[in-house]
Amino acid sequence: MNEGEEQKPADVTSGEDENPASGSTQYDDQRELGEKTDSVLDGADIPKPTISDDEMGAAATPMPKEKVCESTPWSEGEESEIFIYAVKTTANQERAVAGLIEQSARRGKLDVRAILAPDELKGYVLVESPAPEIVDQAIQGIRNAKTMVRGAMPLEEVAHFLKPKPTVTGITEGCIVELIAGPFKGEKARVKMVDKTHEEITVELFDAMVPIPVTVRGDNVRVLSKEETEGS
């Protein structure tokens, strides 16, 4: 190369095919091959997965449902009858016996559905159960539970016990009561005033050094005697 002559840059190949038609031909060959493959697959007999009769029966058989309660004596959709039995108890021990019956039923998983100890029903506890044998079993070994009265009671005979009543019902001025809740629990007192609107009573404690009136709710006392009222 002579001095003064300008050096020309070497040709740089781009890597692209010089023949522009070659790429198009390659693409056409691939498309033709794909069409042939699709036609072969369409005509081929491809085996489908089969399920035996035993497997089909096992798949269609539903799983057994878990039993909710084996002691339930009625079927679903049927109305159950109400059987209520009276249990004779020691006087003034009705609530204690009711609590022990509940514990016995839970411990033995007995079908005892309800227990009621109404204040108006002295010496008895009412138990709802589908069979008298269950009640007999529930009261076995319970102190102050004497015996079960034979024969079920109709619901009509106990329906009035289920209606809510004012907590001051049966409490009058001059009654002797025992406080069964609150800070003066166990204390005896005389009723001085009855507030039926707020269902509260005002009492004076017997053992207080100074007779101070105390106002409590009607359901926080238990009537012991009405002699003061009846004698006045």
**pLDDT per residue of the chain (232 residues) written in tens, 0 to 9:** 555 455 555 554 444 444 444 445 555 555 665 565 555 545 555 555 555 555 554 444 444 443 333 333 444 444 457 899 999 999 999 999 999 999 999 999 999 999 999 888 899 999 999 999 999 999 999 999 999 999 998 888 888 887 777 778 888 899 999 999 888 899 999 999 999 888 899 999 998 888 889 999 988 898 888 754 444 4
Q: What is the pLDDT of residue 29?
A: 58
Q: What is the pLDDT of residue 132?
A: 94
Residue count of the chain: 232
* Structure-block tokens of residue 226: 């009405």
* Structure-block tokens of residue 108: 């033995």
Count of Cβ atoms closer than 10 Å to residue 108 Cβ: 13
pTM for this prediction: 0.44
CA 75 remoteness from chain centre: 20
Q: Are 145 and 139 in contact (CB under 8 A)?
A: yes
Residue linked to tokens 């001095």: 3
Q: Are 203 and 189 in contact (CB under 8 A)?
A: yes
> In this structure, which topology does domain 84-162 adopt according to CATH?
Alpha-Beta Plaits (3.30.70)
* Structure-block tokens of residue 72: 């339930």
Distance CA 167, CA 198 (A): 10
Residue extents of the structural domains in the chain: 84-162, 176-231
CA 167 remoteness from chain centre: 28
Q: What is the pLDDT of residue 39?
A: 54
pLDDT tens digits along 82-91: 899 999 999 9
> In this structure, which topology does domain 176-231 adopt according to CATH?
SH3 type barrels. (2.30.30)
Give me the half-sphere count of Cα atoms (radius 13 Å) on the Cβ side of residue 199.
11
- Angle value at C-alpha 153, between 135 and 170, nearest 5 degrees: 100
Distance CA 39, CA 185 (A): 96
Q: What is the pLDDT of residue 165?
A: 73
pLDDT tens digits along 3-35: 545 555 555 444 444 444 444 555 555 566 556
Q: What is the pLDDT of residue 102?
A: 95
* Structure-block tokens of residue 98: 């009711």
Distance CA 92, CA 56 (A): 67
Contacts (Cβ under 8 Å, ≥6 apart) of 149:
85, 86, 87, 88, 124
Q: What is the pLDDT of residue 111?
A: 94
CB-based burial of residue 86 (10 Å sphere; 0-12 exposed, 13-18 middle, 19+ buried)?
buried
Instruction: Give the mean pLDDT of the chain.
Output: 75
3-state secondary structure of 27: helix
Distance CA 125, CA 89 (A): 7
3-state secondary structure of 84: strand
